[in-house]
Amino acid sequence: MALVLIAAAAFIFRDPLLRLVTPDGGATLHRSLAYGDGPRRTLDIYVPKGASNAPVVLFFYGGSWQTGRKELYGFVGNALAARGMVAVLPDYRVYPEVKFPDFVRDGAAATRWTHDNISRFGGDPSSVILMGHSAGAHIAAMLALDGDYLRAEGLDPARDIKALVGLAGPYDFLPLTSSTFIDMFGGAERAETQPIHFATESAPPAFLAVGDADTIVSPRNTANLAAKLRALGGAPKEIIYPGKGHFGLILPFIGPLRFLAPVVDDVADFIKATVAKGRPT
């Protein structure tokens, strides 16, 4: 089956193998550009061939806010670039080096850098989409919904963020029971750590997807946030992929595993339609 799911996703996400088997449409990769101080505050940019005024997707990877490297997700950058989007993949500091909200603040700093610099790479700073998987979806949602983080960087999510794309994200996960997470988030019942707490009628358009077989992040997180946004008058695009688990929403970004679920098509279609609404015909 697709070379046993590309050798178990190249032994759980190994770049460059997964990137090499994921077509990039001729994209150019710019590695490890600094958006702040320190080795974990750099980002990679995947620029589509001939990009000009292209939508920009800022993708935050998962890893329980404790692990991960942008180099492991080159296949996501390739997949997005092949669809005509400039993909920005930042690293961010993780626990135990930092605790909440420092990884969110790093995401805000990466967003500021992207807004200021992405036009040099063919991206449209007025069409920035925040996207993440798992813990990365939490960071993306916090930035899109709690305006304080971006306002601290001179941005406003209602004005400067075109959309939110969350894949298998934790948005409403209290109370915490793990001693690690209680330490990481500063307590078991802190509402200010939860994206759902900040949902308002001014929230950017949202694409929220989850697999109904996810046992790592409960699907209720997606259901609850989508319901909250709808109750506020929004129209989030909520998709439940039957039979898919937590990694079933990120594996399809690997070229030969696209058959597992239409996640890439669904995300690309949502972004294309959302960006088109804000541009003159």
Q: Catalogue the active-site residues.
A: 134
Give the Cα separation of 127 and 58 in Å (integer): 11
Distances (CA, A) of 155 to 113, 114, 149, 260: 11, 11, 9, 37
Please return the burial class of 231, using the count of CB atoms within 10 Å of its CB with bins 0-12, 13-18 and 19+: exposed
Q: How far, in Å, CA of 138 to CA of 104, rounded?
A: 9
Asked whether the beta carbons of 122 and 52 are under 8 A apart, the reply is yes
Exposed / middle / buried, residue 18 (Cβ in 10 Å: 0-12, 13-18, 19+) = buried
Q: Is 12 exposed, middle or buried (0-12, 13-18, 19+ CB in 10 A)?
A: exposed
